Amino acid sequence: MLIHQRTLQNEISLTGIGLHTGRECTITFKPAPVNTGYIFVRNDIDDCPEIPALIDHVVDVLRGTTIGIGEARVHTTEHVLAALFGLQIDNCRIELSGPEPPVLDGSAHPFAEALLSAGIAEQDEPKNYLVIDETIEYHDAEKGVDIVALPLDGFRATVMVDYKNPALGSQHSGLFDLDKEFLREFSPCRTFCFLSEVEALANQGIIKGGDIDNAIVIVDKQLDETQIQALADKVGVDASHLVLGQNGILNNRELRFTNEPARHKLLDMLGDLALLGMPVKAQILAARPGHASNVEFVKQLKKYADRNKLARQFQHEKKAGVIFDINAIMKILPHRYPFLLIDKIVEFKLDEKIVAIKNVTMNEPFFQGHFPGNPVMPGVLIIEAMAQTGGIIMLNGNENIQESVVFFMGIDKARFRKPVLPGDTLVIEAIMTNKRRSVCQFDAKAYVRGELVCEASLMATVMSKKS
C-alpha cells in the first residue's frame, strides 16, 4: 500500500518558557509543501533564518539536542520533533519567537495535542522511507551505550536504561505501533534528572526554565534544611515548595507510568531520529541511550541512507551480496578495458570503508609480457586496483560523478607481501583515514585467501573534468 506524506491542515501556536534558556517563546506549527521535512524558523532574528532539522546541523548535545546554522540556534528540539515523528507528520514549518521551544509540562504531549487539533492533511507524494536491510550498530564502550537497527517491515523501538543508581534502577520500555501507542503511552512522558545533578546543571547555566512542574526530579541523595535552602536559591524557587518526598520523587510527584523515565528516553530517541529527515522502517534496540549517542547513531543511519541512494543511482538490478556490479562500476569510474581493475563492490560504508573484488585470470593482457613463463600480477596494477577502489569511496554522491574524476596525489608505505597469480581472487579493503574538502587519505590492503598480499597508504583528490 502506498503511504503518502502528511502535513498540517492549519497552523497552531503555543507559548511558554524554554527549559534551558528560561526565555519565553511562542512556537507556531505551519503546513509545508511535500519534501520540505521539518524546518525551524527564528522569527526573532533579522532575516528570519531557517534551520532544517537535519543531523548535519546539530551543534550541541548537552542535556538536549541543539541545531544551528551560523549564529542562529534552536535549543532542545527533541520534544517538538518527537511529536512530529510520532504522529508521522512529514512536512512542517516550525516558527519560533525565541531560541528554544517552550518546555510546557516537560513532555511531547502538549505539542502532539496541538498538532492533532490543527488537523493532519495527506499530500500527493509518497513517503520516502529509509528501509534497513542489514544490521547497523553503534557502540560506546566507555559509556556502556549500544544502539542497533535491525531489518523490519515497520517501526519498533525498545529502550533500556540503567544508571546504576538505586533511586531509579533498571527500566525498559518498547513501542511497537506508532499509530496506537505514541500519543497515549509515550508522548506524556516527562523529562527527568537526579537531585544530585540539579546544582551542577544550574552551575552550567542550563535548566534556567526548569521547575518542579516541568521535570521529574529523582531523589538520589538526602539534604538537610540548609542544603535544601541553598538548592532552592540556586534554581530560583521557594525552599518551602521543596519536599524530598517519600516516593523517591521530589515533592512526592506521581509518575504517569511506573517506567516513565525509560519511556521518556525512548521519546527523546524518536525526536533525535527525526533528524534523519525521513521515516524509518527498522527495529531499534537501545541500551542506555542519550542525546550524544542518538546523534552518532543517526549519523550512521544517514551514511547508510546516502550509500543506498548512491547504490540506487548506479546499481539498477539488486544482487545479493553486491553493492555495485561491473556495470555500476563503469558508470562511476572512467576506466575501461584493459585498465578497469575491479569487478564488484561487496561492502560500502560511506566515508568509512569499502571492499572490492578483483578476479585475476590468465586472460589478463598484462600476463602476456609480465613473466610469461611464470605469470605474476604486477604490483603497480595491484596498487592501481586499490586506487580505483578508493576512488569509489571518494565519489560519495555529493559530487556530480559524471563531471568528476579522481586523481592520485601520493602513495606511501607500499609493501608487497606475496605474489598474486592467475586464478587468485583479490579482496581489496580500503579504509578512509582522513578527509578534508576534496582531498582524502585511505589505507588499502589486498588479500588472497585471507592472506595479506599488498598494502599501501594512498592520497587522492576529486576534481572536475573541466579543470
Binding-site residue numbers for Zn(2+) are 79, 264, 268
Q: How far apart (Å, rounded) are the C-alpha atoms in residues 18 and 155?
A: 31
ω into 338 cis (within 30 of 0): yes
Q: How far is CA 212 from CA 175, 224, 305, in A?
A: 27, 19, 41
Q: How far apart (Å, rounded) are the C-alpha atoms in residues 441 and 435?
A: 6
List all residues 6 or more positions away from 446 whose beta carbon is below 8 Å from its beta carbon. Answer: 382, 385, 386, 420, 426, 427, 428, 429, 452, 453, 454, 455
| Active-site residue (options: 4, 291, 316, 335) | 291
| Active-site residue (options: 139, 172, 335, 370) | 370
Question: Catalytic: 370?
Answer: yes
Q: How far apart (Å, rounded) are the C-alpha atoms in residues 387 and 380?
A: 10
Using an 8 Å Cβ cutoff, are 348 and 306 in contact? no
Q: Can you say which residues are annotated as belonging to the binding site?
A: 79, 264, 268
| Distance between start and end Cα atoms, the chain | 47
Angle at CA of residue 458, ends 319 and 408, nearest 5° = 90
Q: Which candidate, 56, 305, 271, 3, places its Cα nearest to that of 157?
A: 271
Give the DSSP per-residue string, 125-180. EE---EE--S-EEEEETTTTEEEEEE--SSEEEEEEEE-S-TTT-EEEEEE--HHH
Q: How far apart (Å, rounded) are the C-alpha atoms in residues 257 and 265?
A: 13
Q: How far apart (Å, rounded) are the C-alpha atoms in residues 20 and 63?
A: 9
List all residues 6 or more positions away from 125 whose beta carbon is below 8 Å from its beta carbon. Answer: 4, 5, 34, 35
Question: Catalytic: 335?
Answer: no
How deeply is 387 buried, as exposed, middle or buried, from its count of CB atoms within 10 A (0-12, 13-18, 19+)?
A: buried
Q: How far apart (Å, rounded) are the C-alpha atoms in residues 212 and 163?
A: 22
Q: How far apart (Å, rounded) are the C-alpha atoms in residues 388 and 394?
A: 10
Q: Which residues are catalytic?
A: 291, 370
